[in-house]
């Protein structure tokens, strides 16, 4: 099966696009995000917080096969003023502190790092280690696709 998409002198040939999971995710993501942004735009209510909220919501909705997306949805829906998984200021401080902690490759250090990794993943703290590791894998993938999608959206609008 081939689909031919002609888009401003760009040709895209896709073999069975439904079977490419990254393509499926990206398509879902943009289909969630762009209308949401439009709505925000029309309401003239857009603050940085709300856009972030929409971004995360789109992420959670596009990746509903994964456990972390459920946790993310919970967080988003429960908090009216959404503070999402990333908090820039604390992250910055954490990055600065880490060189001190990185001192030795010890056994205890691994536990610490696993805990920190759990904090990064939405809902990671309630999972056990094995589950968390596999969830982190697809979380990373989805984050990467999300950044690509966001970049393309941003770039198109400038």
Partner 1 sequence: MLEGLVSQESLSLNSMDMSVLERLKWVQQQQQQLQQVVSQSSNNSPELLQILQFHGSNNDELLQSSFSQFQMLGSGFGPNYNMGFGPPHEAMDECISRTSSCHMEPVDTIEVLLKTGEENRAIALKNKRKPEVKTRGEEKTEKKIKIEAETESSMKGRLNMRNTEASSDTSKETSKGASEIQKLDYIHVRARRGQATDRHSLAERARREKISKKMKYLQDIVPGCNKVTGKAGMLDEIINYVQCLQRQVEFLSMKLAVLNPELELAVEDVSVKQFQAYFTNVVASKQTIMVDVPLFPLDQQGSLDLSAINPNQTTSIEAPSASWETQSQSLYNTSSLGFQY
| Residues 12-71 interacting with partner 1 (rule: CB under 8 A) | 12, 14, 17-24, 26-27, 29-31, 34-35, 37-38, 40-41, 44, 46-48, 50-52, 55, 65-66
If you search the block for the tokens 């697809």, which residue do you land on? 138
Q: CB-based contacts of 150: which residues, under 8 Å, 6+ apart?
A: 33, 55
16's tokens: 């069975």
**Which position among 79, 97, 102, 126 is part of the footprint of partner 1 (CB under 8 A)?**
102
Shortest spacing between CB 125 and partner 1, in angstroms: 15
What is the CB neighbour count within 10 angstroms for residue 139? 24
Residues between 115 and 134 that touch partner 1 (CB under 8 A): 116-117, 120-121, 129-130, 133-134
Question: How many CB atoms lie under 10 A from the CB of residue 34?
Answer: 14
Q: Determine which residue in the list 74, 79, 91, 126 makes contact with partner 1, applying CB under 8 A.
A: 91
């Amino acid at each position: 099966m081939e689909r031919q998409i002609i888009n401003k002198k760009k040709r895209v040939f896709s073999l069975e696009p439904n079977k490419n999971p990254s393509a499926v995710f990206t398509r879902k993501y943009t289909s969630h995000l762009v209308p949401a942004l439009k709505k925000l735009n029309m309401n003239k209510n857009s603050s940085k917080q709300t856009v972030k909220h929409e971004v995360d919501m789109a992420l959670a909705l596009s990746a509903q096969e994964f456990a972390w997306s459920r946790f993310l949805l919970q967080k988003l829906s429960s908090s009216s003023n959404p503070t999402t998984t990333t908090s820039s200021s604390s992250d910055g401080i954490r990055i600065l502190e880490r060189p001190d902690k990185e001192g030795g490759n010890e056994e205890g250090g691994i536990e610490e790092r696993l805990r920190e990794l759990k904090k990064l993943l939405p809902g990671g703290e309630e999972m056990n280690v094995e589950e968390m590791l596999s969830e982190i894998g697809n979380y990373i993938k989805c984050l990467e696709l999300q950044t690509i999608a966001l970049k393309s959206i941003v770039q198109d609008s400038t």
